[in-house]
Amino acid sequence: MVVLAVGQEWSSPDGQSVVRVIEVSSERSVVERVLRPGSGKAGGHIHRDWTQRFEVREGEVMVRVGSDAARMLVAGETVEVPRGVGHVDPWNESATPAVTRNIISPVTPFVHVIFATLGESLAAGRLDSQDSLTLLQMAAALRAGRADSWGEQPPIPVQRVVLPILAAIAKASGFRPAPA
């Protein structure tokens, strides 16, 4: 199993985006991201097995939680995401870099898999234009980490059927997530 370790850091080939492990235990993980301008936007999703808090350390980001409209957070602000609440992680629409911290509790195997996969893929230059995992990469990581995390749409029973197929396509195309 991949185990995140304090001090691990991955940077994009151009050095503009970074994933950094600040803290990790069985109770909580803190992962910092440097989001280059115009990056970080991913799809809405839910985590049924953990809570999240996002802290903005530098710059400004957009975030959406629940059915509320997306809103801006600036340095010093935080937002809580309870278990099972749909959300979109912070993304940077500004012209300057932003630094966020993602605090997750408790730490499941998927937390290790997703952040190690994100970091490794960032360093290898294999993320999408938003420095986010592609649909196939995400499917492979979800499957490997035995996640209870889902897209906001389609309904979860449909995703349960489609996820193994997408993960198999990712594997057939040569993508391997960090091992669980």
Q: What is the pLDDT of residues 141-151, one digit of tens each?
A: 999 999 999 99
CA-closest candidate to residue 79, choices 108, 110, 101: 101
In a domain, residue 35? The reply is: yes
In a domain, residue 179? The reply is: no
Phi, psi angles (nearest 5°) of residue 30 = -130, 115
The mean pLDDT value for 56-80 works out to: 98
Q: What is the CATH number of the domain that holds 28?
A: 2.60.120.10
In a domain, residue 4? The reply is: no
**How many separate domains does the chain show?**
1
In a domain, residue 33? The reply is: yes
Element (H, E) at 11: strand 9-11
CB 150 within 8 A of CB 159: yes
In a domain, residue 180? The reply is: no
What share of the chain in percent tops pLDDT 90? 97
DSSP assigned state of 39: B
First to last CA, the chain: 4
CA-closest candidate to residue 57, choices 18, 86, 114: 18
| Three-class secondary structure assignment of 91-115 | EECCCCCEEEEEEEECCCHHHHHHH
Report pLDDT for 179.
85
Note the residue count of the chain: 180
pLDDT tens digits along 94-142 = 999 999 999 999 999 999 999 999 999 999 999 999 999 999 999 999 9
Residue 38 structural domain: 9-172
The mean pLDDT value for 43-67 works out to: 98
